[in-house]
Amino acid sequence: MKQVTVYTNKIYPKKLALAVWQQVYLWEFMNPNHVYTKIILDAIKLFGKDICQSLVELFPDVLGSISVETFTKAINKVEPSLIRVDADEVTYPLHIMVRYEMEKELMEHAFDINDLPKRWADKYEEYVGVRPTTDANGILQDVHWSEGLFGYFPSYALGSAYAAQFEHAMQKDLDVLDCLEEGKNGGNPCLALLTYSSIRLHTNTCKDY
């Protein structure tokens, strides 16, 4: 959540009284800042290499001479799952599609409210390929609706799309791997990345219009 904290610290001191639409815009860009830190920076091969070597040393009989490539693929396994927050990056948008479509149908009164659990299970089976057996791993797994946060879920999927573009643009100006390698040698691996984010992203994603 460090990127999110840095982002809000950059924005809120200057914009303490944001309009409602500006707050929505702000949250839409907080998600990609978190996503691009968590997924794109933390999951690259540099960390996979170090973790792989450490685990091989700890469990030589189990892991043997596993390659970094095989290890990276294993920890980024793609498979259908019931729980959104545990989903991999490939299937995650499908979880969002289920929620978005159900929210839209709820607003349009497209089905009886008592049919929500079954509707959820049907959509999961259709889109994700798995069917929840309880409401706990089905429609009650999120807190958003109970808090009145309707229309929020799409920002997660948009965040992943934005994050990929952020990383693509960053690679044109910075060698991310080199920045992180510097951290291994006692430097500050995030200084260049945070400076770039502050100048190019944080101060430009919530403006007065």
The set of residues, in sequence order, having a beta carbon less than 8 Å from that of 142 and lying 6+ positions away, is 84, 99
Q: Of 173, 181, 178, give the one whose Cα is nearest residue 201.
A: 173
- What are the extents of the domains in the chain? 2-204
- The answer to whether 208 touches 25, Cβ cutoff 8 Å, is no
- The answer to whether 138 touches 132, Cβ cutoff 8 Å, is yes
Tens-binned pLDDT, residue by residue, of the chain (209 aa): 444 445 555 544 444 444 444 444 455 555 555 555 554 555 556 667 778 888 888 999 988 888 888 888 888 789 999 999 999 888 999 999 999 999 999 999 998 989 999 999 999 999 999 999 999 999 999 999 988 888 888 888 887 777 778 778 888 887 777 776 665 545 555 677 777 777 777 666 655 54
Which numeric CATH code is attached to 2-204? 1.10.1370.30
Left, alpha or beta for 177 (phi > 0: left; psi -120 to 50: alpha)? Answer: alpha
CA distance 147 to 150: 9
Judging by beta carbons within 10 Å of its beta carbon (0-12, 13-18, 19+), is residue 56 exposed, middle or buried?
Answer: middle
